């Protein structure tokens, strides 16, 4: 069990406040507003610890470095802005994909990622 630190608390707070998958650099930028001396090594170490204890999960997108979000959320998917690079959560799931599987196949999990421009980047 990791001990409580200002840095760890700041990282958890920004993950909750921003409430979307964040890259370590995004975590660092936001958390430095709370703890200006925070370094990237501490961010990586803290994210690793949060994942190991089950408080956070890594979000893997094809061709991208992992991003991190707090755990305990319902099943959901993601939107990746191709302009600014931010990733956002999409509520819910379109449903059962069993009809798309080849005969005899059984899906164990799935991930849907939509790509486009977020509202801040415009169309």
Position 5 pLDDT exceeds 70: yes
Nearest to 32 by CA among 56, 14, 57, 5: 14
Position 118 pLDDT exceeds 50: yes
Degrees to nearest 5, angle at CA 17 with 15 and 21:
40
Position 92 pLDDT exceeds 80: yes
Instruction: Report helix, strand and coil shares of the chain as percent, to nearest 5.
Output: 30, 20, 50
Region label for 17, one of left (φ > 0), alpha (ψ between -120 and 50) or beta (otherwise):
alpha
CB 35 within 8 A of CB 7: yes
- 55-65 pLDDT tens trace: 999 999 888 89
- 8-45 pLDDT tens trace: 999 999 999 999 999 999 999 999 999 999 999 999 99
Q: Which residues contact 59 (CB under 8 A, 6 or more apart)?
A: 21, 66, 67, 68, 69, 78, 87
pTM of the shown model: 0.82
Q: How far apart are CA 10 and CA 23, in angstroms?
A: 15
- At 111 the pLDDT is 87
């Amino acid at each position: 069990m990791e001990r409580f630190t200002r840095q760890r608390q700041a990282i958890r707070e920004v993950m909750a406040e921003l409430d979307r998958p964040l890259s370590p650099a995004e975590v660092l930028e936001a958390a430095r507003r709370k703890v200006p001396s925070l370094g990237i090594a501490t961010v990586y170490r803290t994210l690793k610890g949060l994942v190991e204890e089950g408080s956070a999960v890594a979000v893997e997108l094809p061709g991208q470095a992992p991003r991190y979000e707090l755990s305990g959320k319902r099943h959901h998917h993601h939107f990746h802005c191709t302009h600014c690079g931010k990733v956002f959560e999409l509520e819910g799931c379109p449903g059962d994909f069993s009809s798309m599987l080849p005969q005899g196949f059984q899906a164990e999990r799935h991930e849907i990622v939509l790509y486009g421009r977020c509202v801040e980047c415009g169309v």
